[in-house]
Amino acid sequence: MDIRTVSTTPFSDQKPGTSGLRKSVTVFQKPHYLENFVQSIFDSLEGCQGQTLVLGGDGRYYNRQAIQTILKMAAANGIGRILVGRGGILSTPAASCIIRKYKAFGGIILSASHNPGGPDGDFGIKYNITNGGPAPEKVTEAIYARSKVIDSYKIADVADINLDKLSVSRIGEMGVEVIDPVEPYARLMESLFDFDRIRELIKGDSFSLCMDSLHAVTGPYAKNILEQRLGAPGGTVQNGEPLEDFGGGHPDPNLVYAHDLVEVMFADNAPDFGAASDGDGDRNMILGNKFFVTPSDSLAVLTANAHLVPGYKDGLSGVARSMPTSAAVDRVAAKLGIDCYETPTGWKFFGNLLDADKATLCGEESFGTGSNHVREKDGLWAVLFWLNILAVKGESVEDIVRNHWQTYGRNFYSRHDYEEVAKEPATELMERLRSSVGEMKGKKFGAYEVDYADDFSYTDPIDGSVSSKQGIRIGFTDGSRIVFRLSGTGTKGATLRVYLESYEPDASKHSVETQAALKPLIDLAEEIAQIRKFTEREEPTVIT
């Protein structure tokens, strides 16, 4: 095997964001761009020589080319063995599952998650560690530091590997196994959920379901699990063929982008259960017949009903949610007498809590829920969890959520996104808030009095690492809250996220429409942050 050492110069923009390095495809196609980052990963991983790595992606445009490049670079860098998903496909949770199952050293996952794909869309790459989870900040910082000084990379001069057939082969000394991307994941799901009971539910005449894979990676997984293993009728999974450009859509499971599913679920004769997942299969949206379950409520409902599910029937060690996620799950945790952790946005912050068995379930407002079964959030896992609960309780999705509110009170919740706004004024908006939070406590805005205001900082309870500047929180004495953050996953300009939450214990007020219930807080967010002025937008781009 001939190994070439190629001279290169650093790119200054290879700092991983909330979840890996995400850029437009055209940036990744620049000569040496991908190679520099991949070499920076290999250079930063102590002891990776001779080890096993897992490799795969969400099938978006540039996935296949990137996989061939990474295979050749891995061989040149002395990696022992690579397990790659057939067709270059691995959903993010399946990659995590396979890293854990094979006790691999780590994995490289190619995805820009919910961002659009295609030649004009986005691409991304992230490194996951031995526990199957996203690399913590100390690892991503080391990769970034290396990317700033890199002057060469190594690549093997060999032919491409056939990714479409299960096979065992070699590139030089390195073993390459093209593996089934679905089977190990499907088996893990069978070990957690009561498939017999879900099969019975689906078989009956009184239940129907619809899953929208948005032409992204979960198509083959959902067809295998829902249609083949659980007996749902063919066609239950819509948009189930993964396409390089996601059929021109935006593979983000929310009420705006998953419009095909929303049409089905809000039509007359809608199915009883609907779900969607994102580009790389780690997000989920849950719908009932004409009913939307917020991700924050979903986490709370799963926590309250976990004892009904085989994999969790012995109890939960604790739960964790990201800071901007609503406090609905906190109320359930308090009743169960278990700890509830509040972490910064980013699944990587749950890894230590899961490894130390401080938390069993985790969730985020950004349509992510998961558990200690892998170290990533997991879209289909959440779908199966819901189906298991529905099968046992025999109630509708809406009744389960309404009964939940009756018991715990309702946390009205919404996120307003201002996407692709100019970076400088958005940063100025945040800086203004940052400099004013110190004096906000006790301040009155109409009926609202500020209880606390800060820029969220998190000290990891396991390794003591500190992550600061994680979002401006303004909490009021009546339990309501406004949070402001800039997204760490966008690739164009800046995305301002405004998270709004109020608490209503009175069940007679639970049917108020969410935006109406939050109107006073929405107005207050504008008054405090002058969003229109700084974003030059009259309205948010997306409301979830």
Which residues participate in catalysis according to the annotation? 113
Query: Residue 113, interface with ligand G16 (CB under 6 A)?
Result: yes
Edge to edge, the sheet with strand 21-24 lists: 21-24, 122-128, 106-110, 52-57, 81-89, 174-179, 167-171
The angle formed by the CA atoms of residues 312, 317 and 321, to the nearest 5 degrees, is: 95
Q: Does 325 bind ligand G16 (CB under 6 A)?
A: no
Minimum Å gap between C-beta 270 and ligand G16 is 26
Spatial contact of 79 and 48, defined as CB atoms under 8 Å apart: yes
Q: Which of 3, 10, 18, 510 binds ligand G16 (CB under 6 A)?
A: 18
Minimum CB separation from ligand G16 for residue 497, in Å? 6
Q: Tell me the window of 97-105, 221-229, 253-261, 361-369 that interacts with ligand G16 (CB under 6 A).
A: 361-369
Is the Cβ of residue 17 or residue 184 nearer to ligand G16 in the bound state? 17
Does the protein bind ligand G16 through residue 227 (CB under 6 A)? Answer: no
Q: Rounded distance, CA 288 to CA 292, Å?
A: 6
Answer yes or no whether residue 484 interacts with ligand G16 by CB under 6 A: no
Q: Which residues pair with 476 in a beta bridge?
A: 450
If one asks whether residue 19 binds ligand G16 (CB under 6 A), the answer comes out as yes
**Cβ distance to ligand G16 smaller for residue 135 or 230:** 135
Nearest to 393 by CA among 278, 317, 307: 307
Exactly one of 347, 381, 413, 448 binds ligand G16 (CB under 6 A); that residue is: 347
Site residues (CB under 6 A) for ligand G16, limited to 506-525: none
- Among 488, 492, 346, 478, which Cα is nearest to 430's? 488
Q: Which helix (H) or strand (E) holds 52?
A: strand 52-57
Site for ligand G16 contains 346 (CB under 6 A) = yes
Region of 37-45, 196-204, 206-214, 340-348 interacting with ligand G16 (CB under 6 A): 340-348
If binding is defined by CB under 6 A, does position 231 make contact with ligand G16?
A: no
283 binds ligand G16 (CB under 6 A): yes
Assess 416 for contact with ligand G16 (CB under 6 A): no
Site for ligand G16 in 364-393 (CB under 6 A): 364, 366, 368
Give the range of 216-224, 308-316, 332-340, 341-349 binding ligand G16 by CB under 6 A.
Answer: 341-349
Residues 6+ apart with CB under 8 A from 350: 133, 320, 343, 359, 362, 370, 375
**Core vs surface per residue 402-428: b (16+ CB within 10 A) or e:** bebbeebbbbbbbbbbbbebeeebbee
C-alpha 244/C-alpha 123 separation (Å) is: 11
Decide if 291 contacts 398 (C-beta within 8 A).
yes
Question: Does position 23 bind ligand G16 by CB under 6 A?
Answer: no
Q: Which stretch binds ligand G16 (CB under 6 A): 26-34, 254-262, 297-305, 344-352?
A: 344-352
Location of structure tokens 């295998």:
224
Whether the CB-CB separation of 296 and 325 falls below 8 Å is answered with yes
We find the least distance from the C-beta atom of residue 234 to ligand G16, in angstroms, to be 29
Q: Which residue has the tokens 């339990």?
A: 479
Q: For ligand G16, which is the closer residue by CB, 266 or 458? A: 458
What is the closest distance, in whole angstroms, from the C-beta atom of residue 134 to ligand G16 in the complex? 7
* Interface with ligand G16, residue 436, by CB under 6 A: no
Number of H helices, E strands in the chain: 18, 27
Q: Which two tokens stand for residue 111?
A: 């995805």
Residue 345 binds ligand G16, judged by CB under 6 A: yes
Q: Which 8-state DSSP code applies to residue 527? A: H
Q: Which is nearer to ligand G16, 114 or 358 (CB)?
A: 114
Is residue 487 at the binding interface for ligand G16, with CB under 6 A as the rule?
yes
Does residue 497 bind ligand G16 (CB under 6 A)? Answer: yes
Query: Using CA atoms, how far apart are residues 27 and 125, in angstroms rounded to an integer?
Result: 13
**Residues near ligand G16 (CB under 6 A), total:** 18
Where along the sequence are the contacts to ligand G16 (CB under 6 A)? 18-19, 113-114, 278, 282-283, 322, 345-347, 364, 366, 368, 487-489, 497
